């Protein structure tokens, strides 16, 4: 990344954080390293985020907002319950750094209002189609099953834990979710 020059330092630090997390994971991140990456003093990131947890809180909130936007786009373009799940998997793969932080509340201020609001918005869209699941399934259990399935699949894909995943995570996720949630 080129050094920061009189722009949106907050955005530049968040972008550098995504790169650093992609390279080394969320626990290895430091504000000092991010300052170096964007070419500013250590005080720059501290001014915007106060500490590492503050930075990861902003990243988690941004991630939940991005996830909610992706799920809404899928739903509003006619995507069914399975396609919303596939959208979740796509997000997890395309925004891996965010995904790795979002579900690690031990790394950020989980009581932060921006995180809670974005998290609730994403959750509502993700489970919005659970009432249309065929059969005599309890909608609350269907919501939990669907989230567990797509989150687990995305995590297994991202960590390389699947023995023969193929090369198309969306088709694979669609097939797996379709086994449980299609008519």
Q: Which CATH number fits domain 51-181: 1.10.10.60, 3.90.870.10, 1.10.357.10, 2.30.30.140?
A: 1.10.357.10
For the 1-49 domain, the top CATH level (class) is mainly alpha
pLDDT reading at 95 higher than 60:
yes
Instruction: Tell me the pLDDT tens digit for each residue of 114-143.
Output: 999 999 999 988 887 766 666 677 878 888
pLDDT at site 1: 47
How far is residue 174's CA from residue 41's CA, in Å, rounded to a whole number? 46
HSE of 109, CA atoms in CB hemisphere, 13 A:
13
CATH 1.10.10 domain position(s) in the chain: 1-49
- How confident is the model over 149-163, as a mean pLDDT? 91
For residue 121, what is the enclosing H or E element? Answer: helix 113-126
pLDDT reading at 2 higher than 70:
no
What band does 178 get if pLDDT is binned at 50, 70 and 90? confident
Choose among 101, 82, 105: nearest CA to 153: 82
pLDDT reading at 158 higher than 50:
yes
pLDDT reading at 47 higher than 60:
yes
């Amino acid at each position: 990344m080129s050094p920061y020059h009189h722009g949106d330092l907050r955005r530049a630090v968040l972008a550098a954080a995504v790169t650093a997390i992609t390279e080394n994971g969320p626990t290895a991140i430091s504000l000092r390293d991010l300052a170096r990456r964007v070419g500013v003093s250590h005080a720059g990131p501290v001014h915007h985020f106060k500490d590492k947890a503050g930075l990861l809180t902003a990243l988690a909130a941004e991630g939940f907002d991005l996830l909610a936007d992706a799920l809404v786009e899928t739903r509003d373009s006619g995507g069914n319950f399975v396609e919303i799940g596939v959208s979740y998997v796509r997000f997890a793969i395309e925004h891996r750094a965010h995904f790795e932080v979002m579900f690690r509340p031990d790394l950020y201020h989980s009581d932060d209002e921006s995180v809670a609001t974005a998290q609730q918005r994403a959750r509502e869209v993700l489970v919005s189609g659970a009432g249309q699941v065929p059969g005599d399934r309890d909608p609350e259990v269907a919501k939990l099953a669907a989230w567990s399935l797509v989150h687990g699949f995305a995590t297994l894909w991202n960590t390389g834990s699947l023995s023969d995943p193929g090369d198309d995570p969306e088709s694979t996720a669609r097939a797996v979710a379709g086994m449980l949630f299609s008519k």
